[in-house]
Amino acid sequence: MFVGTGSDVGKSVIAAAFGRILKQDGYSPAPFKAQNMALNSYVTADGGEMGRAQVVQAEACGVSCHTDMNPVLLKPNTDKTAQVILNGKPIGNYSADRYFKGEGKALLFPEVLKAFDRLAECYSPIVVEGAGSISELNLKDNDIVNMPIAVAKNASAFLVADIDKGGVFASVYGTIALLDEEEKSQIKGIIINKFRGDISLFTEGKTIIENLTGVPVLGVIPAFQDIYIEEEDNIAKSIQHQKIALKGKVNIAVVLLRRMSNFTDFNRLEHDGRVNLFYSHNAEEIAGADIIIIPGTKSTISDLLELRRNGIASEIKDQAKAGKMVIGICGGYQMMGEMLCDPHQVEGQVEELPGLGILPMKTIVEEEKYTAQTSFNYKGLGMCKGYEIHMGKPEFTAAINPLNQIETGDNEGVWFSEKCWGSYMHGIFDNDVVIDDLLSGFDVEKRLSMDYDAFKEKQYNKLAAHVRESVDMDLFYELVAPTVSL
């Protein structure tokens, strides 16, 4: 189990690295995280919804993803409420107060343990990821994702600390000092992550940490920039390094929404050499793009209201009228219609709100969520794959051309013109036929062939090699041997 001194210390990536290492070493690993809080989700083959981090880790382990790998997913609706997904299906909206003061653990912890046991019947070892800090004392009594899992399943836990944040000695020592004795006994090793500079200068630091905690330092892992692994906060890193406009590239603006979901829809586009993709909530920057994409969102009506307030809604409408390419995905697709109707107040108190009026349709928000993996023919140009996660149904107010034909024969999405379309299909840009069509009207070089799955496999192997070089693997196997059947 990989636990942390805090959030964003690198637990997800390290868990993926060890999943790939264990696979390479002949084992049959699978990932597990009891509870994820994220708007970035995925749909499994049987229609269950789970967090993307465990999908990535499953890929690293070389296995198909299943909701048992992430039995509880919290999808925030507002700053104080979230939809709770259990075993792939929503069970209701909870306030933070209601969820974290006992009701959540009583309801969900038994289900979490059952999911772990089902997974352990099929795979060994299970590579578990914790969440945030393991020493949040105010949340500890109702924790279902960190040390209660380590204790309940006798997991060999490794504490991950981010030295790049600063204060690594205090964070490691303080985190372990705040655990009770039973929890401390599960901590088998420490990993110092994201080191920059000459690692030999930290030799004394390693000894100091071991003397302070009585726990061995398994390794010091250098920060990297040449390995691409999908992370839960990749969007923040993309924004930090983005360039708003580049000559010789097709500049694609993704409208940055407050409750934006499934930003991984754009990972493949970001790796196309013909494209400069950036995220923005600035009307002038968005207007300067060649293509505007309105992404998915967990709170479509709330985000549309904000786009009206900050002037982006009117800018998108003006750009569409001027003939610029405008595309909507899921919630963004709903926004492009004439009206959004929420008669059951699923999203909030607003029951009806005018849309952008770009597409001839209105959306009725429904109480039941639809989730499915889908194969579809895009514009009659070729078969593609994607997945749907939505709680809305379109009603068209004029004749339209369907964008996609589902393998079942049903139609999906709207193809209003060469410059305007919308779809519920997440992952639609992972398909080369879609990207090539998207860029066909621009003066760019012919696409260099890219096998995205092969690209990701190469990254997992590079990550595994990077971690192997930095970690004492003999010590790792020695430390896990008493608690894991290898």
Q: What pLDDT digit, counting tens, does each position of 253-310 carry?
A: 999 999 998 989 999 998 888 999 999 999 999 999 999 999 999 899 999 999 999 9
Where along the chain do the CATH 3.40.50.880 domains lie?
A: 249-439
> According to the model, what pLDDT value does residue 232 have?
66
Establish whether 384 is a catalytic residue: no
**End-to-end alpha carbon distance in the chain:** 15
Catalytic-role residue among 61, 330, 341, 420: 330
> According to the model, what pLDDT value does residue 233 have?
58
The residue to which tokens 């992550």 are assigned = 193
How far CA 226 is from CA of 219, 459, 460, 462, in Å, comes to: 20, 9, 12, 9
Amino acid at 125: P
* Residues of the chain falling short of pLDDT 70: 102, 232-243, 446-449, 486
> According to the model, what pLDDT value does residue 283 have?
94
Catalytic-role residue among 61, 66, 341, 426: 426
Establish whether 241 is a catalytic residue: no
What CATH number belongs to 249-439? 3.40.50.880
CATH architecture entry for 2-228+458-480:
3-Layer(aba) Sandwich (3.40)
Where along the chain do the CATH 3.40.50.300 domains lie?
A: 2-228+458-480
> According to the model, what pLDDT value does residue 427 have?
96
> According to the model, what pLDDT value does residue 15 have?
98
Cα separation, 392 vs 342, in Å, equals 9
